[in-house]
Amino acid sequence: DQQVKQNSPSLSVQEGRISILNCDYTNSMFDYFLWYKKYPAEGPTFLISISSIKDKNEDGRFTVFLNKSAKHLSLHIVPSQPGDSAVYFCAARSGGSNYKLTFGKGTLLTVNP
């Protein structure tokens, strides 16, 4: 049972435009959500996180929005740059005493010059 879902395997945008990456989850016990970027042959790189008690967190070009009622979060990248081309993973942390991160399958973002 996939608790973190990224339903778009790929996304293509023009340089300078906004990239919106989406993620849905099913487990109401998730208390933290994170976004990671991954280039081939490298480990995931942390981008931004959001607590389940917030609805927005912003860091430079990256903004994450959380809609708890819809169990949906999104990552906005503005403006998109060719160097942003990578696989983006959404991850959710289980709360309580059993802290673990569950990852979605990822979305391949391609930013065209």
Partner 1 sequence: DTEVTQTPKHLVMGMTNKKSLKCEQHMGHRAMYWYKQKAKKPPELMFVYSYEKLSINESVPSRFSPECPNSSLLNLHLHALQPEDSALYLCASSQDTGNVYYGYTFGSGTRLTVV
Query: For partner 1, which is the closer residue by CB, 40 or 113?
Result: 40
Give the separation between CA 66 and CA 81, rounded to whole angstroms. 24
Pick the binder of partner 1 from 104, 107, 109, 111 (CB under 8 A).
104
Which of helix, strand or coil describes residue 27? Answer: coil
The answer to whether residues 52 and 32 touch, using CB atoms and an 8 Å cutoff, is yes
Convert residues 23-62 into a mask of x (bound to partner 1 by CB under 8 A) and - (unbound): ---------x-x-x----xxxxxxx-x-x-----------
Give the separation between CA 88 and CA 22, rounded to whole angstroms. 10
Binding positions for partner 1, rule: CB under 8 A:
4, 32, 34, 36, 41-47, 49, 51, 89, 93, 98-106
